[in-house]
Every structure is written in structure tokens, then in C-alpha cells.
Copies of this chain bind each other. A is one copy, B any other.
Amino acid sequence: MKAAVIGLGAMGMGAAQSLLRAGIETTGYDIVEEVLDQFAAEGGGRADAAAAAVKGADVVLVFLLNAQQVRSVLFGSRDGAVAAADLGTVFVLNATMGPAEAEALADDLLAAGMQVIDAPVSGGREKAAAGDLTLIASGADAAFDRALPVLEAISSRIIRLGETPGSAARVKMINQLLAGVHTAAMAEAMVLAARDGLDLKVVHDVVSESTGQSRMFESRGQQVAEGAYTPHSSVDIVRKDLGLVAAMAGDLDLPLLRHALALFEDAAAGGLGRQADACIARLLAERAGVELPEKG
């Protein structure tokens, strides 16, 4: 069993390391030299091109940022990874992307004689490093059978969503809708609480144990309460994800989604794109003339 990982960012690197720990021969590729060096130092294979990475691989994990990157690396004239792969290689699409893009990529991979699993991940950097990702995955049984050792090495939970690539991307979009709206709701709640002079740490503690709890309020609300904005995810990433959800929704009017997206677009336009997503609380606070806690 040979695996390749294209894209050694926070998530891809963790997955690649998990494969090495599981004893699976793994070659990595990234455009950043330093991460290739790091992976090679840890015992991984080092490829200087995507096509070289996938050569002879049974399973290829694609951990890129978006569908455009994936298409370019798989089918572009420069990288052309698919052209270099053996027929029947299983391509696992781990990036968060719109379902239309996931379906189009899957169609093109199948047409090129490859197998494909649409498998967006959740869990963040630490879980990736620990091999504890959650995979939502759709694809043919044969592809699953072949890729299973790889999928099990990087994840602690695999939720299968049928044989049609694209279903997993759709469920992931539903999750991103909620995560983004909850982050925006956290910002509204914390700015209101701050304006009224409440102790945000107490608010965070109480709400996290009550009916207003959300995973995002627990995590991002704590950042706002402490004034310490750790970029687990950025304004740009949430803006991108909510934009994909809005594109998927099409003419279905979802006002909370629309306003959460507008908030992240405003934040990005205001230069906060690379900041932690919780920084939209700062944007709301500034607009309202409210002071939030700042660490130090």
C-alpha cells in the first residue's frame, strides 16, 4: 500500500504524519519547500511535483484549500497529477468545496479512469496530527475498500454518505452554514454583553452550559472573552465557506446565512481577512463603539 498526500498544510501534514505512524509508505507534495523538508525528516517521501508524488500510489489524499487549487493540481497543464497516476488510483478529495465543484471533479476523475471519494474532513489541526479527524465520505464501495487503511489511519470516525461523490460536500456545507452563523451570533451576543458591562468570561461560562451553547460559542466566544484571538480559522476561510453555501443555496433565501456572510465580507473588505474568524466581534464592537477585552 502506497499513499500520496498533496498539500501539506496544517491538515494535510497531520494526515501525512498519521499515515507514517500507521506504517504506510507515503509521499508528500507541497509548493512550500520547508514543509517538504519537515516531512522528509520525519521519514516521509519527498516529491518535487504533484505528478511525481502520485506515481505508483494506490491512494492520493488531496488536502488543498479549494476546488480551483484541486482542479489545477489534478488536471492543470503544469501539475497534471491525474495524467501521471496509475489507472484505478483512488483520489480522496479532502478540501472543503461546493458540491457542484466536487461533483464535477469526481466526474472528470472517473472519466480519466480513476476512482474517487469525496471526503471533507473536520477536526482541526490537533486532531489531524493525532489521526483523529472525522471524515464525511461518499464514493463507490470499491474505492472505499481500497482506500480503507489510509482513511482509517487519518481518522477516528468515518461517516459514509452513499456512493455518489458530492453528498459529503453537501453535508459539509450544511455544517459550515451553521458554524459560520454561530460565529456571527457569538459576535452579536458578546458585543451586546460587553456594551451592558457584563463580565464576558462569566457570560461564556454560563452560556456554554446552557441552551445558547454552540461549539463555536465555546471556542470563539472564549477568544473574545479573553481578548486573545487564536487563528484556528480565518475570516477569509469562513467568508469563502459561507460563499460556497450561498452559491449552493441559490435562490433559496436564508436570511441568517446572508447576514453572516455579509459580516464576514465586510470584515475581509476592512482588512481583517487573515485574522482569526472571531475577530468579527471586533468589527461589530467597533461599529457600535463598544470596547471588548484585549489581552495584555
A: residues with CB less than 8 A from B are: 99, 122, 134, 136, 157, 159, 161, 167, 170-171, 173-179, 181-182, 184-186, 188-189, 191-193, 195-196, 198, 202-203, 205-207, 209-217, 245, 248-249, 252-257, 259-260, 262-263, 284, 287-288, 290
- Indicate if the CB atoms of A175 and B254 lie closer than 8 Å: no
- Indicate if the CB atoms of A212 and B256 lie closer than 8 Å: no
Which of A195, A206, A245 lies at the interface centre, i.e. has the most chain B CB atoms within 10 A of its CB?
A206
Chain B residues with CB under 8 Å of A157's CB are 209
- Indicate if the CB atoms of B178 and A214 lie closer than 8 Å: yes
A-B contact pairs, 22 of them (CB 8 A): A122-B211, A136-B206, A167-B198, A171-B202, A171-B206, A175-B207, A175-B210, A177-B185, A177-B188, A181-B188, A182-B182, A185-B256, A188-B254, A188-B257, A191-B252, A192-B252, A212-B215, A212-B216, A252-B288, A255-B262, A256-B260, A259-B259
CB of A230, distance to nearest CB on chain B (Å): 15
Q: A185–B216 Cα gap in the complex (Å)?
A: 13
CB of A195, distance to nearest CB on chain B (Å): 6
- Indicate if the CB atoms of B181 and A196 lie closer than 8 Å: no
Which of A186, A249, A255 lies at the interface centre, i.e. has the most chain B CB atoms within 10 A of its CB?
A255
User: Which chain B residue has the least Cβ–Cβ distance from A199?
Assistant: B161
Q: A126–B126 Cα gap in the complex (Å)?
A: 37
The 10 closest A-B pairs by CB, nearest first: A178-B212, A214-B214, A175-B212, A255-B259, A188-B254, A179-B211, A181-B185, A213-B215, A122-B210, A179-B212
**Consensus secondary structure, chain A interface:** helix
- Indicate if the CB atoms of A203 and B252 lie closer than 8 Å: no
Q: A179–B207 Cα gap in the complex (Å)?
A: 9
Chain B residues with CB under 8 Å of A185's CB are 177-178, 181-182, 185, 256
- Indicate if the CB atoms of A202 and B161 lie closer than 8 Å: yes
Q: A114–B202 Cα gap in the complex (Å)?
A: 28
- Indicate if the CB atoms of A181 and B252 lie closer than 8 Å: no
- Indicate if the CB atoms of A209 and B177 lie closer than 8 Å: no
Chain B residues with CB under 8 Å of A206's CB are 136, 159, 171, 175
Chain B residues with CB under 8 Å of A198's CB are 167, 170-171, 174
CB of A101, distance to nearest CB on chain B (Å): 15
Q: A30–B161 Cα gap in the complex (Å)?
A: 52
CB of A254, distance to nearest CB on chain B (Å): 4
Whether A178 touches B189, Cβ cut-off 8 Å, given contacts A213-B215, A248-B196, A288-B252, is: yes
